[in-house]
A and B are shown apart, each in its own frame.
Chain A
Amino acid sequence: MSTVEIRGVSKRYGSVAALDDVSLEFADGEFFGLLGPSGSGKTTLLRSIAGFVEPDRGSIHVGGEEIARVPIYRRDIGMVFQNYALFPHMSVSDNIAFGLSVRGIGREEIRARVEDALKLVRLEGYGERRPRQLSGGQQQRVALARAVVSRPRVLLLDEPLGALDKNLRQQMQIELKQIQRLVGITTVLVTHDQEEALTLSDRIAVFNQGRVIQAGTPGEIYDSPRSAFVADFMGEANFFIGRVARRQGDEMQIVLDDGAAVMASGPSRLAENAAVRLVVRPEKMSISASEASIPPHHANRLAATVEQVVFMGSSITYRLNCAGAEVSVYQQNQDPPRAAEGGAVWISWRATDTIPVDD
Chain B
Amino acid sequence: MMKKSLSGLSLAYLLLVLGFIYLPIVIMTAMAFNESSSYALPFRFSTKWFEQLASNDILLRAGWNSVLLAAANTVVATVLGTMTAIAFARYTFRGKVLLQILLFPPIAIPWLILATAMLIFFFYSGIGRGLHAMLLAHVALSLPYVIVIVGARLQSFGTDLEEAAATLGASPLQTFFRVTLPTIAPGVMAAALFAFGISFDQFVTSYFLSPPGVTTLPVEIYASIRKGFTPEINAISAIIILVSMLLLLAVSRFYRFAGNS
Which residues from chain A sit less than 8 Å from chain B, CB to CB? 50-52, 72-79, 81, 83, 85-89, 98-99, 102-103, 130, 132, 146-147, 150, 156
The 5 A-B residue pairs whose C-beta atoms are closest, nearest first, are A99-B168, A85-B160, A85-B164, A79-B167, A72-B166
In whole angstroms, how far apart are the Cα atoms of A83 and B163 in the complex? 12
In whole angstroms, how far apart are the Cα atoms of A78 and B164 in the complex? 9
CB-based contact B182/A77 at 8 Å: no
In whole angstroms, how far apart are the Cα atoms of A50 and B164 in the complex? 10
Provide the residues of chain A in CB contact with B174, threshold 8 Å: 102
Is B117 on the interface with A (CB-CB < 8 A)? no
CB-based contact A99/B160 at 8 Å: no
Q: Within the complex, which residue of A73, A85, A130, A147 is in contact with B170, where a contact is CB–CB below 8 Å?
A: A73
Kindly state the interface size class of chain B when it binds its partner.
20 to 34
Closest Cβ–Cβ distance, residue B35 to chain A (whole Å): 52
CB-based contact B261/A52 at 8 Å: no
Interface residues in B161-184 (C-beta closer than 8 Å to A): 161, 163-172, 174-175, 178-179, 182-183
Is B14 on the interface with A (CB-CB < 8 A)? no
Residue of B164, B170, B174, B183 ringed by the most chain A CB atoms within 10 A:
B164
- If A50-B163, A74-B169, A99-B170 are given as contacts, then 14 extra A-B residue pairs at C-beta distance below 8 Å, sorted by A number, are A72-B163, A72-B166, A72-B167, A73-B175, A85-B161, A87-B164, A89-B182, A89-B258, A99-B168, A102-B178, A130-B261, A146-B168, A150-B168, A150-B169
Decide yes or no: A73 and B261 within 8 Å by CB, A87-B161, A102-B174 being known contacts: no
CB-based contact B183/A81 at 8 Å: no
Closest Cβ–Cβ distance, residue A289 to chain B (whole Å): 57
CB-based contact B171/A102 at 8 Å: yes
In whole angstroms, how far apart are the Cα atoms of A47 and B29 in the complex? 61
Q: Within the complex, which residue of A85, A86, A98, A132 is in contact with B163, where a contact is CB–CB below 8 Å?
A: A85
CB-based contact B161/A102 at 8 Å: no
Q: How many A-B residue pairs have CB under 8 A?
A: 69
In whole angstroms, how far apart are the Cα atoms of A88 and B169 in the complex? 18
Which residues from chain B sit less than 8 Å from chain A, CB to CB? 160-161, 163-172, 174-175, 178-179, 182-183, 258, 261
Q: Tell me whether chain B's interface is mostly helix, strand or loop, or mixed.
A: helix
Closest Cβ–Cβ distance, residue A322 to chain B (whole Å): 49
Provide the residues of chain B in CB contact with A75, threshold 8 Å: 167
CB-based contact B258/A73 at 8 Å: no
CB-based contact B179/A52 at 8 Å: no
Provide the residues of chain A in CB contact with B161, threshold 8 Å: 85, 87
Complex: chain A residue closest to B168, CB-CB = A99
Provide the residues of chain B in CB contact with A98, threshold 8 Å: 165, 168, 170, 178
Provide the residues of chain B in CB contact with A89, threshold 8 Å: 182-183, 258, 261
In whole angstroms, how far apart are the Cα atoms of A74 and B171 in the complex? 8
Provide the residues of chain A in CB contact with B178, threshold 8 Å: 98, 102
Provide the residues of chain A in CB contact with B169, threshold 8 Å: 73-74, 76, 99, 102-103, 150
* Sampled A-B contacts (14; CB under 8 Å): A72-B163, A73-B168, A73-B169, A73-B175, A81-B164, A85-B160, A85-B161, A87-B165, A99-B169, A99-B170, A102-B165, A146-B164, A147-B168, A150-B169
CB-based contact A81/B160 at 8 Å: yes
CB-based contact A81/B261 at 8 Å: no
Residue of B163, B166, B169 ringed by the most chain A CB atoms within 10 A:
B169
In whole angstroms, how far apart are the Cα atoms of A77 and B166 in the complex? 9
CB-based contact B183/A73 at 8 Å: no
Complex: chain B residue closest to A102, CB-CB = B170
CB-based contact B164/A79 at 8 Å: yes
CB-based contact B163/A73 at 8 Å: no
Closest Cβ–Cβ distance, residue A16 to chain B (whole Å): 18
Provide the residues of chain A in CB contact with B179, threshold 8 Å: 87
Residue of A72, A75, A130 ringed by the most chain B CB atoms within 10 A:
A72
In whole angstroms, how far apart are the Cα atoms of A86 and B161 in the complex? 7
Provide the residues of chain B in CB contact with A83, threshold 8 Å: 160
In whole angstroms, how far apart are the Cα atoms of A273 and B183 in the complex? 67
